[in-house]
């Protein structure tokens, strides 16, 4: 199928986590709300029946923002920002704790609703999917409106959809008219609608690449499209330069992959304060066990077992290391994952305080394709037990 025949949609839920919370707390609609608090920031019921909501100014620690309502974003608060910095920008914004179980529930609901209309779907994350509409007979706008309504009926939430000849352009388009947006783009629209945008709008151009491009006088997609390939190769290398050259012109041949297998499943946590490997042994042990249990639950929920277990440690000086351990057979057993992660930990010299701890399972296989097998016993943890 040539490019002009392809109709690829990117559906992105609007401020997903925050929107789910507004279903639970409709009285917060229209207010700046930030998701990123701890369990103790759960709203409390007062004697008069009203709820007490925590404010950003009441927060202390070094957590990060998961997402924020559009009212909070207007104040400069965005995802991945530290909560303390957000508190400086919007001290009166409402702070709510994250509830991933609820977000996963609504994620399943909206994806099932879309699948009832268009089955060729690539799962791209908890709040976004790609949809190949190319083989459906319906008009593009009619299809998009049906999908948006189906999502709203199933979840009570709004989404934004971008439809273009490829995944690259559809993802850019889904962000152009948020919230509750619908943007349809043809290749002929690229000069007027895509080229004036910042290069950061291209998924795959991160902060470091954007900074390097800016030093070369390239800040917009139009300026990137005007750059010679040979010039880009001098500064970025052959492979990445070729990719920059193509995406600046809206070229993307990637298919919508409906049966993508995850390469790994991981969980990590950043501590509110740096934890000492001995003095805070109990706290580290509890966090370690929780992460292993969460990875096991995620594996089971997604129908996979893993064979290689890895840990990630970030110390107080921001040095980050990883270690991995390969089991004799695949598993989704939390106890086995815990012991394997302990073997990884045994190979680390724990002298400095820790600020982040992570656990990952990789070398995945669908659970239905595996036979039960005995897991070889592992040794216990040296410090975190």
Known catalytic residues are 128
Q: How many CB atoms lie within 10 A of CB 186?
A: 14
C-alpha span between 159 and 153 (Å, rounded): 12
Eight-state DSSP code of residue 355: E
In terms of Cβ atoms closer than 10 Å to its own Cβ (0-12, 13-18, 19+), residue 353 is middle
Question: How many angstroms separate the CA atoms of 184 and 186, rounded?
Answer: 7
Is the peptide bond between 179 and the residue preceding it cis, with omega within 30 degrees of 0?
A: yes
The residue with tokens 């100014």 is 57
Return the SS3 of 186: coil
Q: How many CA atoms lie within 13 A of 88 on its CB side?
A: 4
Cα-to-chain-centroid distance, residue 62: 20
SS3 344: helix
Any idea of the CA torsion for 68, 74, 78, 84, to the nearest 10 degrees?
-90
User: For residues 21 and 33, is the Cβ–Cβ distance under 8 A?
Assistant: yes
Q: Phi/psi at 309 (nearest 5 deg)?
A: -110, 130
Vertex 49: Cα angle to 44 and 54 (nearest 5)? 30
Cα-Cα-Cα-Cα dihedral sign, residues 343, 347, 352, 355: negative
- From start to end of the chain, where are the E strands? 8-13, 33-37, 44-45, 51-52, 54-55, 67-68, 94-97, 121-125, 128-132, 159-164, 182-184, 264-275, 304-315, 320-331, 354-362, 365-366
């Amino acid at each position: 199928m040539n490019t002009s025949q392809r109709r690829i949609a990117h559906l992105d839920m609007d401020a997903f986590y925050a929107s789910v919370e507004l279903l639970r707390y409709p009285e917060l609609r229209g207010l700046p709300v930030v998701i990123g608090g701890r369990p103790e920031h759960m709203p409390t019921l007062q004697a008069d029946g009203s709820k007490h909501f925590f404010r950003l100014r009441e927060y202390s620690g070094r957590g990060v923002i998961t997402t924020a309502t559009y009212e909070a974003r207007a104040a400069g608060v965005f995802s991945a920002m530290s909560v303390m910095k957000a508190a400086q920008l919007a001290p009166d914004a409402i702070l709510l704790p994250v509830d991933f179980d609820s977000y996963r529930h609504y994620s399943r609901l909206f994806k099932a609703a879309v699948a009832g209309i268009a089955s060729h779907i690539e799962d791209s994350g908890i709040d976004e999917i790609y949809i190949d509409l190319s083989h459906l007979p319906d008009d593009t706008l009619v299809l998009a409106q049906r999908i948006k309504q189906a999502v709203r009926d199933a979840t009570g939430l709004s989404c934004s959809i971008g439809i273009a000849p490829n995944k690259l352009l559809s993802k850019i388009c889904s962000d152009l008219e948020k919230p509750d947006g619908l943007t349809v783009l043809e290749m002929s629209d690229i000069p007027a609608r895509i080229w004036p945008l910042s290069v950061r709008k291209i998924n795959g151009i991160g902060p470091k690449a954007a900074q390097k491009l800016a030093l070369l006088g390239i800040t917009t997609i139009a300026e990137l499209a005007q750059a010679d390939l040979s010039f880009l190769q001098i500064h970025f290398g052959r492979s990445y330069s070729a990719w920059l050259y193509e995406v600046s012109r809206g070229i993307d041949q990637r298919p919508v992959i409906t049966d993508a297998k995850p390469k790994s499943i991981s969980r990590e946590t950043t501590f509110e304060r740096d934890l000492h490997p001995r003095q805070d042994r109990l706290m580290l042990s509890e966090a370690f066990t929780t992460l292993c249990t969460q990875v096991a639950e995620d594996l089971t929920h997604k129908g996979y077992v893993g064979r290689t277990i890895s840990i990630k440690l970030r110390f107080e000086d921001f040095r980050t290391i990883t270690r991995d351990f390969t089991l004799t057979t695949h598993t989704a057993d939390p106890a086995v994952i815990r012991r394997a992660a302990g073997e990884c930990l045994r190979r680390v010299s724990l002298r400095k305080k820790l600020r982040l701890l992570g656990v990952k399972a990789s070398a995945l296989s669908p659970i239905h394709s595996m036979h039960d097998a005995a897991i070889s016993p592992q040794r216990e943890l040296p410090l975190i037990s």
